[in-house]
Amino acid sequence: MLILSLPYAVTDQLVDAIGVYVLVFGILVSVAAFWLRRVVPPVLLRPARHTWTTR
């Protein structure tokens, strides 16, 4: 049986810090996406042109 465990250097504080970093980064990316959606003219946000055909 394989038992996986974290090294002793990984403390609860480190795990919390990484979690906060990921949360803040995710919020910043979301805000940037909404901001770009409002700033970029709709002409530049064209839908993809599908070129395949069905048989």
- 1-55 pLDDT per residue, tens: 677 676 777 788 888 999 999 999 999 999 988 888 777 666 655 566 667 766 6
pLDDT of residue 15: 85
2 φψ region: left (φ > 0), alpha (ψ -120 to 50), beta (else): beta
CA–CA distance, 28 with 26 (Å, rounded to integer): 5
> Residue 8 has what pLDDT?
75
